[in-house]
Amino acid sequence: MQLYAIPTGNLKLDGGAMFGVVPKSLWSKHYPADENNLINLSMRCLLVVDGNRRILINNGIGDKQSEKFFSHYDLNGDDTLLKSLAVHGFTPEDITDMFLTHLHFDHAGGSVKYTADRSGFETVFPNATYWISAPQWEWAMHANRRESASFLKENIKPIEESGRLKLFDYPGELFPGIEVRFYNGHTDGQAIPFIKYNGKTIVFASDLLPTAAHLPLPWVMSYDTRPLITLDEKELFLEEAVDKGYILFFEHDLYTECCTLVRTEKGIKTDKVFTLNELYSL
């Protein structure tokens, strides 16, 4: 098995929204904001290559939304999904499995693109099975008013229309060496992959833990639909992660790609911080 970080660019979101009830005087010490209170976040995906299987976990925001839509998020950085795949010698046609932790636009927007004549939409990965948890699919199809702006129909319906949508409604081993668990505080049916790699477990944290700054238990995003459930989920996950030595891979943390955890008198904190490339030498 080989693992590749696939950066797809950055976006900016309101720091207060990202840290919920935590005062800026606290969170800004750990994650800096600009003069507009915006913090810069990565959209870092993960490619798992195992034999003939090439599994891409999430795919960023895509490029098909309007200029007005993108202006709300101040997209920045030189990385794109296609450029980052190409760095490692892959094309969209090479992807056999497209795994989506959930269907918010900054995680799933790269699933779909315009057709050549821009008359409609088609999937970016023409040979891939698209894996989405059944509870998340149902949640997105009947979106609540708070989340509806994050579930864009042009990111979702073309997947179903392609005939390559695969829903799964159970936690467990979805692929050899990749266990999936459901976490429901951020959005119903968010599916988090636990990847067995060289005797270690790497967890693609997605929006369970968007950044390393979100390790303190009460530091929960305002975007989470059920923050008290997130609080319980984080506590259980972090205790297990530190006890079992899991490696966290962050999708949104601009500054920390991977880390291990350590238990301290003040709670669970980051221990070793490194990139995925540096993992090979640990």
Counting the structural domains of the chain, the total is: 1
Torsion of CA 212, 218, 219, 223, to 10 degrees: 120
Rounded to whole angstroms, how far apart are CA atoms 157 and 184? 22
Rounded to whole angstroms, how far apart are CA atoms 63 and 56? 18
CB of 101 closer than 8 Å to CB of 113: no
CB of 85 closer than 8 Å to CB of 205: no
Looking up residue 47, the CATH number of its domain turns out to be 3.60.15.10
Domain that includes residue 186, residue range: 2-279
Spell out the per-residue pLDDT of the chain, length 282, in tens. Answer: 999 999 999 999 999 999 999 999 999 999 999 999 999 999 999 999 999 999 999 999 999 999 999 999 999 999 999 999 999 999 999 999 999 999 999 999 999 999 989 889 999 999 999 999 999 999 999 988 888 889 999 999 999 999 999 999 988 899 999 999 999 999 999 999 999 999 999 999 999 999 999 999 999 999 999 999 999 999 999 999 999 999 999 999 999 999 999 999 999 999 999 999 898 665
Rounded to whole angstroms, how far apart are CA atoms 182 and 102? 10
Rounded to whole angstroms, how far apart are CA atoms 157 and 192? 22
Residue 49, H or E segment: strand 38-50
Can you give 52-106 as a three-state secondary structure string? CEEEEECCCCCCCCCHHHHHCCCCECCCCHHHHHHHCCCCHHHCCEEECCCCCHH
Largest CA distance in the chain: 60
CA distances from 54 to 51, 121, 122, 208, 265 (A): 8, 23, 20, 24, 41
pTM of the model: 0.95
